[in-house]
């Protein structure tokens, strides 16, 4: 099969299209004929060399949709031919088992296409219990554009942040996939959204998603403007994916008892804080990553129902994988890049 592969860490130039053996499903697994796969920052981090070992040569791609074309042992053949999207969170219940002291008997949490071989290929093998059927009215491209972004945002806002109607939320990096999903989810939950992005074009696009206030971080101190716009109350919840450049502004923007949710560090992962601001405001700082199968199915159903709409920047053939990596790395796109094998 044809796949986008890299065998060494580096820039976009290390990724190329190669002929590799087609994977075969094992017990409780299915093989997907991939019809669409979306890019994520996870793909950039893996290509650059993450702080843990990944299988080499490596095929990235965490977000994929396609058709089940083969089943392994213990999987009912009735799923053959099904149009499906895949939850890229593998063995997510490992987190719960660790708390209960049972982690030794559980497979560790992994992300499809990061810790394992992914979907930037003609075929991909996944656990059958990570599948969800796609309605005929929904395209493979739309389905593939949603999983990582929407399950991460849903888990952060609903599962961890407990966002409530009427609350105020700050969302940084608001042109990225997870953050655009978070804007839509927050508005669906009747929250007031304060978003940060860069560039007038991006500001307009984030406003079009429904954000109530959008700040251009290149032109203004968003924390000062937000403080004014909230009547000096700050926000109840902040969702940050940027890290170091946004961190202090996020802390300053928090209301008393606020929840600061962290799911990335695209601008730098090492941050500093004056702890007095944290304990005086009684802030909660909560890490977030991916989500459960239940959360995946909840948020994907909202996508299928048209209540949440993934932003797709472009659809291109898998042959343009290096261009896709370069575009995402430049940080100038709005929404998702979707590739067709």
Mean pLDDT of 167-174: 95
Q: Does the pLDDT of residue 29 top 60, yes or no? A: yes
Which of 49-53, 131-135, 315-319 bottoms out in mean pLDDT, i.e. has the lowest? 49-53
Average pLDDT, the chain: 92
- pTM to 2 decimal places: 0.91
User: Mind listing the pLDDT tens digit for each residue in 67-121?
Assistant: 999 999 999 999 999 999 999 999 887 665 555 454 444 678 889 999 999 999 9
Q: What is the Cα–Cα distance from 251 to 316, expressed in whole angstroms? A: 39
How many whole angstroms from its chain centre is CA 165?
23
The pLDDT score that the predictor gives to residue 331 is 80
Locate the DSSP E strands across 163-220: 168-171, 192-197, 213-216
Cα angle, residue 172 at apex, residues 168 and 175 outer, rounded to 5°: 115
Mean pLDDT of 261-281: 84
CB neighbours of residue 47 within 10 Å: 21
Give every CB contact of residue 51 below 8 A, 6+ residues apart in sequence.
none
Q: Does the pLDDT of residue 36 top 50, yes or no? A: yes
Q: Phi and psi at residue 262, in whole multiples of 5°?
A: -125, 125
The pLDDT score that the predictor gives to residue 85 is 98
Q: What is the Cα–Cα distance from 336 to 288, expressed in whole angstroms? A: 21
Q: Are strands 131-133 and 16-19 parallel, antiparallel or unpaired?
A: unpaired
The pLDDT score that the predictor gives to residue 94 is 64
Mean pLDDT of 126-147: 97
The pLDDT score that the predictor gives to residue 233 is 96
Strand partners, 235: 254
Strand partners, 58: 6
CB neighbours of residue 138 within 10 Å: 19
How many whole angstroms from its chain centre is CA 231?
32
Give every CB contact of residue 16 below 8 A, 6+ residues apart in sequence.
4, 5, 6, 321, 322
The pair of structure tokens assigned to 204 is 């307009």
How many whole angstroms from its chain centre is CA 11?
21
Which of 59-63, 140-144, 248-252 bottoms out in mean pLDDT, i.e. has the lowest? 248-252
Residue 116, H or E segment: none
Q: What is the Cα–Cα distance from 1 to 121, expressed in whole angstroms? A: 7
Q: Which DSSP string corresponds to 282-340?
A: T-EEEE--S--HHHHHHHHHHHHTTSS---EEEEEEGGGHHHHHHHHHHT---SEEEEE
The pLDDT score that the predictor gives to residue 152 is 95
**Percent of the chain, pLDDT > 70?**
96
**Percent of the chain, pLDDT > 90?**
77
All domains of the chain, ordered by start, with CATH?
2-145+311-340 (3.90.180.10), 150-287 (3.40.50.720)
Give every CB contact of residue 169 below 8 A, 6+ residues apart in sequence.
157, 163, 182, 186, 191, 192, 193, 194, 235, 236, 237, 238, 239
332 vs 99, higher pLDDT: 332
Mean pLDDT of 157-162: 95
């Amino acid at each position: 099969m044809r796949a986008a592969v890299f065998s060494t860490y580096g820039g976009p130039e290390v990724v190329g299209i190669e002929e590799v053996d087609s994977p075969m499903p094992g017990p409780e697994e299915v093989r997907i004929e991939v019809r669409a796969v979306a890019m994520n920052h996870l793909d950039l981090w893996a290509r650059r060399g993450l702080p843990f070992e990944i299988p080499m040569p490596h095929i990235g791609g965490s977000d994929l949709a396609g058709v089940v074309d083969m089943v392994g042992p213990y999987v009912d053949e009735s799923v053959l031919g099904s149009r499906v999207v895949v939850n890229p969170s593998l063995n997510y219940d490992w987190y719960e088992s660790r708390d209960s002291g049972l982690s030794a008997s559980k497979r560790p949490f992994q992300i499809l296409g990061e810790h394992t071989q992914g979907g930037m290929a003609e075929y991909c093998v996944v656990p059958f219990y990570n599948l969800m059927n796609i309605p005929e009215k929904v395209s493979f491209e739309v389905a593939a554009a949603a999983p990582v972004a929407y399950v991460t945002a849903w888990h952060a806002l609903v599962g961890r942040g407990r966002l409530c109607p009427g609350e105020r939320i700050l969302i940084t990096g608001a042109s990225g996939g997870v953050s655009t999903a978070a804007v839509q989810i927050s508005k669906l939950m009747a929250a007031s959204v304060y978003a940060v992005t860069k560039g007038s074009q991006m500001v307009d696009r984030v406003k079009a998603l429904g954000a109530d206030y959008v700040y251009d971080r290149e032109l203004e101190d968003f924390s000062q403007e937000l403080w004014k716009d909230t009547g000096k109350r700050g926000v109840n919840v902040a969702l940050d994916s940027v890290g170091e450049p946004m961190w202090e502004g996020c802390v300053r923007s928090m209301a008393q008892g606020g929840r600061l949710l962290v799911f990335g560090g695209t601008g730098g992962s090492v941050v500093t804080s004056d702890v007095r601001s944290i304990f005086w405001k009684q802030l909660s700082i909560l890490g977030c990553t991916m989500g459960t199968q239940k959360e995946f199915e909840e948020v994907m159903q909202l996508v299928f129902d048209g209540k949440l709409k993934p932003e797709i920047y472009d659809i291109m053939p898998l042959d343009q994988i290096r261009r896709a990596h370069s575009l995402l790395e430049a940080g100038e796109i709005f929404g998702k890049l979707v590739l067709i094998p």
